Chains A and B, each alone.
Chain A
Amino acid sequence: MEVNNLKDAGTPAANGGAVISAKDLDLTFQTNDGPVQALKSVSLDIEKGDFVSFIGPSGCGKTTFLRCMADLEQPTGGSITVNGVSAAEARAARAYGYVFQAAGLYPWRTIGGNISLPLEIMGYSKSDQRDRVARVLELVELAGFEKKFPWQLSGGMQQRASIARALAFDADILLMDEPFGALDEIVRDHLNEQLLKLWARTEKTIAFVTHSIPEAVYLSTKIVVMSPRPGRITDVIDSPLPKERPLDIRETPEFLEVAHRVREGLRAGHNDV
């Protein structure tokens, strides 16, 4: 199994089984107010099947880091590999699905049409598109909504549709940038639960940016705490929680202990400033 993974990823042995590997990543934005260091020597390995959350105050570079993985930003130093190749090559190979903060569905396409959009771009056949749309809609519990237009759906349903769109093609990495940030608490709980089920079923590797501590702890196998000015990683916590997680796991001592450590990490990052 391990050997197969290595072969699939085509990685040099040095990376082990890491799907995403960042080494001394630096990124400095040139702004009108002078250079801003968004990321400073960020190193991290994400293993296959991990659910990694990035948490930190705004300006800590968590979204920038995710965008580096997606080849949406170019690091100014260090290196990053995705599936063993550069982020640009991984993007060209359609190695990941990216879920943005807003659903960003096209108002002129139905839900089904929106989900088949990346499939059209990638050249899947019509019948394959139909099958995949039906499958992912079922996966995010939106079966029967294929012919509806986005404005006919609630915010939570739209975001589920955008997750379905990211799942529709065969990317085994899912990059999610505060996908539930704009939703209310109850909808968010529900979607978190669904996301965990989906992750268990699809065995994807997920990188998830959030600013909610309970969300990060509830979802993740690994929590990366970041702090701003310059954006850097201050703590990496491997979650002791079991893979099977009902919502009320959030009341258990183990959960609270991890949450406490995350909060400490965030506070420490703040004091540095």
Chain B
Amino acid sequence: MTRSIPVLTVVAAILALWYVAAVPMNAQWAYDRAARADVELTFSDLVADTWSQEKPRLPAPHQVAVEVWQTTVDKKITSKRSLIYHSWITLSATLVGFALGTTLGILLAVGIVYNRVMDMSVMPWVIASQTIPILALAPMIIVVLNAVGVSGLLPKAVISMYLSFFPVAVGMVKGLRSPEVMQLDQMHTWHASASQTFWKLRLPASMPYLFTSLKVAMAASLVGAIVGELPTGAIAGLGARLLAGSYYGQTIQIWSALIMAAALAAVIVSLIGLIQRIVLKRMGMAT
């Protein structure tokens, strides 16, 4: 309970700031309409109007909340207008991309740790890969994969993978190298094979690093999936909702998609946190 008080205070402050900001942001349109109707606007009229416009520059929180409610609870989830439907489209690409990225990241890390040539050559490329803006790269990936007949979920998952393998690779290199020299010497005195050293020492020792990386990777995956949905012609997914919303000036729709994406990220990242706690506790490494 004591921990929720600061959180609630911050949330309340953000909401208050949001409401206050909505007034000047949307005021111009309210003034214009009042001028056309030739009526004088009182301050309370102004506030009421700026908080209830159909296409505000900045929708008020309750407008977004109502939109989210209507597009999740009130719509059948099979409907093209259901936010749950779009979230699932994005989530499925996110999860596939996350799985691919995690696998690639771990394999790269193992290669880097065990192979001197890879250690010298791969890491700079891994880092360089992340300096290219994903917005520039995403359309090319979609187009190229489309040209070879791959479309739908997979191109988006590839973009997710591209963003999510990086934190896993970096974290796992650090994790696999975390055993002390003494522990490696110890394995040596037992004449342990390289694979025994990997499975019994390096891999378990890397677990705390892995989970930290997975949280970052999951968030990056979601961003990748949303970015991947932008150049596909806004068919489905949270990215498509964002794009469609901006085409038609549906700011409330944009904001509700944003809120949904944030909530989705919070849920899946905290899910990893939960798995982390369970696994590390079972391993006796709870922190």
Contact = CB atoms under 8 A, between A and B. Distances in A.
A108 B285 contact: yes
Contacts of B190: 94, 117-118, 121-122
B213 to A, nearest CB: 18
B92 to A, nearest CB: 33
Interface residues of A, number: 25
Contact of B284 (A92, A100, A110, A117): A110
A102 interface: yes
Contacts of A71: 188
Contacts of A104: 180, 182-183, 186
Contacts of A96: 189
Interface centre among A97, A107, A108 (most CB of B within 10 A): A108
B116 interface: no
Contacts of B201: 106
B193 to A, nearest CB: 8
Interface string A94-116: 10111011101011111000000
A5 B87 CA distance: 75
Contacts of A117: 190, 200
Interface in A37-84: 70-72
A72 B185 contact: yes
Nearest to B197: A121
A91 B285 contact: no
A229 B182 CA distance: 25
Interface string B118-137: 00000000000000000000
A98 B196 contact: no
Most buried by A among B190, B201, B204: B190
A88 B56 CA distance: 78
A87 B186 CA distance: 15
B192 interface: yes
B283 interface: yes
A120 interface: yes
A104 B196 CA distance: 17
Contacts of A109: 284
Interface of B: 180, 182-183, 185-192, 196, 200-201, 204-205, 207, 283-285
Interface of A: 70-72, 91-92, 94, 96-98, 100-102, 104, 106-110, 117-118, 120-122, 149, 151
27 contacts: A70-B189, A91-B188, A91-B189, A91-B191, A92-B191, A94-B190, A97-B189, A98-B185, A98-B186, A98-B189, A104-B180, A106-B183, A106-B205, A107-B284, A108-B204, A108-B283, A108-B285, A110-B284, A117-B200, A118-B190, A120-B200, A121-B190, A121-B200, A122-B190, A122-B191, A149-B284, A151-B284
